[in-house]
Amino acid sequence: MATGQHPEPAPGEMAANAALESPVMVIGQEFVTQHPVDLEMMNDCKVTDEDGNLIFQVRSKIATVRDIRYLQDAYGNILVSLKHKLMTAHGRWEVFRGESIEQKDLLFSVKQSSLFQLVSSKLHVFLPSNTTESVPDFRIEGAFIDSSCTIYLGNSNTIVAQVSSKPVFILEHSSALIIILEIL
């Protein structure tokens, strides 16, 4: 295996409709579930469960030059930092463990699959070990304007998660990233 390549088979090269043998964990085991979970994203960047209990919230620091946001749990603990990479053609976001924005703490990065996307969007998610980025580790397709998307394993048809909800007013693709983090 060459440096920067996946062991065989790469996640995106798995057979279509292949069953996931084990849960896919990116952020932490406490966020992995074997059953569907109903979450609702509010316009104020808060995510609640079906009983209205706060699960996640997104905050940003005031008066900062960098575009960095923080996903917090219900107790205010920072789970991940979301950093918008400036000067990239595909609108890339990088997600890091905790408050860090150091490459050693990179969990994954997300970028638009193409420069021009109108109503529906396609995003590619890359784990740090996927340095060539020739095949995404996850693929997200959906209509983010109505907060619905499907997350696939690589370029396969294997569904990892689905998001569908009531229409929510979304201002930008960073909100789509928040929806993705609810799943990952």
- Model-wide pTM > 0.75: no
- C-alpha 58/C-alpha 54 separation (Å) is 11
Cβ proximity of 122 and 138 under 8 Å: no
The residue behind tokens 């997300």 is 110
What's the CATH architecture for 38-172? Beta Barrel (2.40)
Average the pLDDT over each of 58-62, 102-106, 143-147 and give the range with the smallest value: 143-147
10 Å CB burial of residue 43 (0-12, 13-18, 19+) is exposed
- Residue 169's pLDDT band, with cuts at 50, 70 and 90, is very low
Residue-range domain boundaries for the chain: 38-172
Q: What is the pLDDT of residue 102?
A: 94
Least confident window among 32-36, 90-94, 153-157: 32-36
